[in-house]
């Protein structure tokens, strides 16, 4: 099943269409407001990334070793799950977020 078939199936049901539209509008608002507070968001992301790296470092290992310990079959299952959940939940919000950021920068 490719992306176009998944999108056609999601948009064929009116309830799914309304949910996707609301998710898109939420992403649009999130993107617009986030562009206004961009420096704070970048600082938050940097702090979270640093905290994650410090947590991995405190375990005395590297991210590659942790992935190797999880095992290849688990990683493949997680990748498939991430793709499906990404299309259904994060996709509309992400698209709205990007458009909201563009609108915020154009309105400056």
**pLDDT surpasses 70 at 64:** no
Percentage above 70 pLDDT, the chain: 60
Residue 54 pLDDT exceeds 80: no
pLDDT tier at 60, thresholds 50, 70, 90 = low
3-class DSSP state of 38: helix
Give the model's pLDDT for residue 87.
57
Non-local (6+) Cβ contacts of 97 within 8 A are: 27, 28, 30, 31, 34
pLDDT-based confidence at residue 95 (cuts at 50, 70, 90): confident
Confidence class for position 69, pLDDT limits 50, 70, 90: low
SS3 content of the chain, % helix, strand, coil (to 5): 90, 0, 10
Residue-wise pLDDT tens digits, 17-49: 888 889 889 988 888 888 888 877 788 778 877
Longest alpha-carbon distance in the chain: 51
| Whole-number pLDDT of residue 14 | 81
Phi first, then psi, for residue 48 (nearest 5°) are: -65, -40
Number of alpha helices (DSSP H) and beta strands (DSSP E) in the chain: 6, 0
């Amino acid at each position: 099943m490719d992306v176009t078939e998944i999108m056609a199936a999601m948009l064929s049901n009116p309830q799914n269409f309304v949910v996707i539209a609301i998710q898109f509008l939420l992403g649009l608002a999130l993107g617009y407001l986030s562009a206004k507070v961009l420096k704070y968001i970048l600082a938050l992301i940097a702090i979270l990334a640093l905290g994650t790296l410090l947590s991995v470092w405190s375990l005395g290992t590297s991210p590659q070793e942790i992935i190797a310990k999880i095992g290849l079959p688990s990683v493949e299952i997680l990748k498939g799950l991430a793709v499906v959940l990404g299309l259904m939940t994060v996709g509309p919000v992400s698209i709205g977020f990007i458009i909201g950021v563009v609108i915020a920068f154009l309105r400056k």
